[in-house]
A and B are shown apart, each in its own frame.
Chain A
Amino acid sequence: MNRSASHIGVRNLTIAYGDFVVMRDLNFTINRGDVFIIMGGSGCGKSTLMKVLIGLKSPATGQVFYNDKSLWEIDPTDRQQIMQRFGILYQSGALWSSMTLAQNVGLPLELYTGLAAGEIHDLVSLKLSLVGLAGFEEFYPSEISGGMRKRAGLARAMALDPEVLFFDEPSAGLDPVSARRLDDLILELRESLGTTVVVVTHELASLFAIGNNSVFLDPETRTMIASGDPKQLLAESPDPKVRRFLTRGEE
């Protein structure tokens, strides 16, 4: 596999809700096998950017390329096919509330694999145990805690062994040990399956541990003010806002 080929490219992207511009002039490239971090202050538009990257919200102007295909210029059925290769963890978990955890994780498998019920059952148990939820198969989302919902969402995102995983604040609401395990899991997925991972996060520890590329969004200027390896940004970025963020404001 070509490790440094561009997987997702963002060109002159402006995103807006109606007349309200959330972010403008975004340009960055996510390479195959990257763990790419989207960071920035609360409310600056990280989740919105993720929605545009995964094909849920159309950009005001500019383009998102996926394997050199412009996501918003191809026809919807093609876009739909591309979206099926994404695994997504939403900020709120977004589990289907009328289904048990097993059904939540199993639905993508049912729809797209044609596996027998028994095999699906085994796969579901495996994915749930990967996120530490073995034994919770028959629980409904309303019967588990927020952090557990997040982890179940993660298991669902991984169900189809996607090409790209998008995580919106995966470790928010998790204890340090689970958060650490999640980081290990992300790195493991990248190593073993070559998955590209896009993570929205504020957690400095995990951001430095897993990220090898990033973009920093600034709510004041409404655009990106830095990009690159977070460790390098910490060492070299001349921008005081970026430094303040990466050092918890201690510099």
Chain B
Amino acid sequence: MRAISFQQSSEETLLLKLSGPWKLGSDLPTVEDVAGRIASGRRVRKVAFDAEDLGNWDAGLLTFLVKVRDLCRQKNIELDSRGLPEGVHRLLGLASAVPEIKDTGKNQVRERWFARVGDRTIEAVRASREVLEFIGDATLTLAKLAGGRVRMRRSDLLLIIQQCGADALPIVTLISALIGLILAFVGAVQLKLFGAEIYIASLVAIGMTREMGAMMAAIIMAGRTGAAFAAELGTMQVNEEIDALKTLGVSPMEFLVLPRMLALVLMMPLLAVYADLVGILGGMAVGVGAFDITLTQYAEQTQLALNTRHILIGVVKAGVFGIIIAVSGCLRGMQCGRSATQVGYAATSAVVTAIVWIIVADGLFAVITNVLKI
């Protein structure tokens, strides 16, 4: 049975007869049926209802009626809702009580292609300005630190140092030991062709200190600490905690960003050196265990291959990576919008930004050291 039928009850009045159950999920008539009827028939000035045979109903009926109401408004047709059950009548009244606020700033206008390209460009320029401003701000704050007048709590700094230093040791140990192992295995297979297995030690030593130690520590810290920074600062942004700091006259740059940058810049070189060490031990395990090199031979060869230059390059890189991770973590956190989804986005984006720039910086280091022949 159709749940609706039409009747031109009198001169210019369309009577909608509603019958049977009107529940969501069942096959309900749509407002288009009504619109079609109004368009096709004689001129209609008034819409009325007959709900004598109406069964159970729920929000399905209400949404239909609200649409009918909007349709009537649009076509300048009077709506007579007296024929509806009392409850429906009242709910419909509530739904119309608060006038819809027009222009909430969310008008869905489809933009033209050129406009979109323009908007994106302007947005990109604005975003890069923001990044530069942030870096400038951070530099100024560092300068202020040298001057000795910054508002930062020592306990915060120590806690963050612990979180991004000591607490990161287990994962750094695991990853760098594995990297040492892998380097040794991959290298050994090739070197064996020339009977030069002993050079595994050199390969691992130089590979770890110049490249992999700093790089792996950086990637671990980007995922671990960079994301945490962004999420922490983002949540503080959402909870208005940063606003509360600002009104207290405390610069979030000094109070929140500075200790995080300091902690990472101090800890990253240490972590890198530690990673170098563990990596070399990993390589040693392979060299001594799987290829017959004695412990002393391996140690001697490592010592021969290594010099302070390699180690220093790794350490400097690690410091730079530390700055990159801290800046991208804090930047994304401070830029975070005011909702929980934005916090997740900030964390993800901090990791991606950091890793991209770490690789770029590493490339630059490779070129520079090559040009300088160091």
Within 8 A of A (CB), among B230-272: 235-236, 239-241, 243-250
Within 8 A of A (CB), among B206-238: 235-236
Q: How far is it, in angstroms, between the C-alpha of A17 and the C-alpha of B236 when the chains are bound?
A: 21
Within 8 A of A (CB), among B329-349: none
CB distance from A57 to the nearest CB of B (A): 9
Q: How far is it, in angstroms, between the C-alpha of A181 and the C-alpha of B232 when the chains are bound?
A: 34
Given contacts A95-B241, A97-B236, contact A18 B248 (CB under 8 A): no
Q: How far is it, in angstroms, between the C-alpha of A112 and the C-alpha of B156 when the chains are bound?
A: 19
Within 8 A of A (CB), among B78-107: 99, 101, 103-105
Instruction: Say if the beta carbon of A30 comes within 8 Å of chain B.
Output: no
Within 8 A of B (CB), among A41-65: 51, 54-56
Within 8 A of B (CB), among A204-226: 219-220
Q: How far is it, in angstroms, between the C-alpha of A112 and the C-alpha of B104 when the chains are bound?
A: 41
Task: Tell me whether B244 and A86 are in contact (CB under 8 A).
Answer: no
Partner of A96, one of B104, B244, B247: B244
Task: Tell me whether B247 and A88 are in contact (CB under 8 A).
Answer: yes
- Which partner residue on chain A sits nearest B105 by CB separation? A20
CB distance from A159 to the nearest CB of B (A): 9
Given contacts A18-B105, A19-B105, A220-B101, contact A94 B249 (CB under 8 A): no
Instruction: Say if the beta carbon of B46 comes within 8 Å of chain A.
Output: no
Kindly name the residue among B101, B236, B240 whose own CB sees the greatest number of chain A CB atoms within 10 A: B240
CB distance from A22 to the nearest CB of B (A): 9
CB distance from A49 to the nearest CB of B (A): 14
Q: How far is it, in angstroms, between the C-alpha of A91 and the C-alpha of B250 when the chains are bound?
A: 20
Given contacts A56-B246, A83-B249, A84-B249, contact A96 B105 (CB under 8 A): no
- Which partner residue on chain B sits nearest A153 by CB separation? B244
Instruction: Say if the beta carbon of B45 comes within 8 Å of chain A.
Output: no
CB distance from A165 to the nearest CB of B (A): 12
Within 8 A of A (CB), among B97-122: 99, 101, 103-105
Task: Tell me whether B248 and A94 are in contact (CB under 8 A).
Answer: no
- Which partner residue on chain B sits nearest A95 by CB separation? B241
Given contacts A17-B105, A220-B99, A220-B101, contact A107 B248 (CB under 8 A): yes
- Chain A residues with Cβ below 8 Å from B239 are 92-95, 97
Q: How far is it, in angstroms, between the C-alpha of A20 and the C-alpha of B104 when the chains are bound?
A: 7
Partner of A94, one of B99, B240, B250: B240
Partner of B241, one of A81, A86, A97, A108: A97
- Chain B residues with Cβ below 8 Å from A96 are 236, 241, 244-245
Instruction: Say if the beta carbon of A111 comes within 8 Å of chain B.
Output: yes
Q: How far is it, in angstroms, between the C-alpha of A19 and the C-alpha of B119 when the chains are bound?
A: 14
Task: Tell me whether B248 and A111 are in contact (CB under 8 A).
Answer: yes
Given contacts A20-B104, A56-B243, A94-B241, contact A111 B236 (CB under 8 A): no
Q: How far is it, in angstroms, between the C-alpha of A80 and the C-alpha of B151 when the chains are bound?
A: 15
Instruction: Say if the beta carbon of A90 comes within 8 Å of chain B.
Output: yes
Partner of B101, one of A86, A112, A219: A219
Q: How far is it, in angstroms, between the C-alpha of A97 and the C-alpha of B248 when the chains are bound?
A: 16
CB distance from A228 to the nearest CB of B (A): 26
Q: How far is it, in angstroms, between the C-alpha of A88 and the C-alpha of B249 when the chains are bound?
A: 12
Given contacts A55-B247, A84-B248, A97-B235, contact A111 B151 (CB under 8 A): yes
Q: How far is it, in angstroms, between the C-alpha of A47 and the C-alpha of B156 when the chains are bound?
A: 31
Q: How far is it, in angstroms, between the C-alpha of A91 and the C-alpha of B248 when the chains are bound?
A: 16
Q: How far is it, in angstroms, between the C-alpha of A19 and the C-alpha of B243 when the chains are bound?
A: 23
- Chain B residues with Cβ below 8 Å from A55 are 247
- Chain A residues with Cβ below 8 Å from B245 are 96
Partner of A83, one of B103, B156, B241, B247: B247
CB distance from B158 to the nearest CB of A (A): 13
- Chain A residues with Cβ below 8 Å from B244 are 88, 90, 94-96, 156
Task: Tell me whether B240 and A92 are in contact (CB under 8 A).
Answer: yes
- Which partner residue on chain B sits nearest A104 by CB separation? B244
CB distance from B337 to the nearest CB of A (A): 12
Q: How far is it, in angstroms, between the C-alpha of A90 and the C-alpha of B245 when the chains are bound?
A: 12
Within 8 A of B (CB), among A77-136: 80-81, 83-84, 86, 88, 90-98, 107-108, 111-112
Q: How far is it, in angstroms, between the C-alpha of A219 and the C-alpha of B248 when the chains are bound?
A: 31
Task: Tell me whether A80 and B241 are in contact (CB under 8 A).
Answer: no
Binary contact track A11-31/B, C-beta < 8 Å → 1, others 0: 000000111100000000000
CB distance from A241 to the nearest CB of B (A): 11
- Chain A residues with Cβ below 8 Å from B250 are 111
- Which partner residue on chain A sits nearest B103 by CB separation? A20
- Chain A residues with Cβ below 8 Å from B248 are 83-84, 107-108, 111
Of the A-B pairs whose beta carbons lie under 8 Å apart in the complex, a sample of 20, sorted by A's number, is A18-B105, A20-B103, A20-B105, A83-B246, A83-B247, A83-B248, A88-B247, A90-B240, A93-B239, A94-B241, A94-B244, A95-B241, A96-B241, A97-B235, A97-B239, A107-B248, A108-B248, A111-B151, A111-B250, A112-B249
Interface contacts beyond A83-B249, A91-B240: sample of 18 additional A-B pairs, CB < 8 Å, sorted by A: A19-B105, A54-B247, A56-B243, A80-B249, A84-B248, A88-B244, A88-B247, A90-B244, A92-B239, A94-B240, A94-B244, A95-B241, A95-B244, A96-B236, A97-B239, A108-B248, A111-B151, A111-B250
Residues of A that sit less than 8 Å from B by CB: 17-20, 51, 54-56, 80-81, 83-84, 86, 88, 90-98, 107-108, 111-112, 156, 219-220
Residues of B that sit less than 8 Å from A by CB: 99, 101, 103-105, 151, 156, 235-236, 239-241, 243-250
Nearest 7 interchain pairs by C-beta: A20-B105, A94-B240, A94-B244, A90-B240, A84-B249, A80-B249, A83-B247
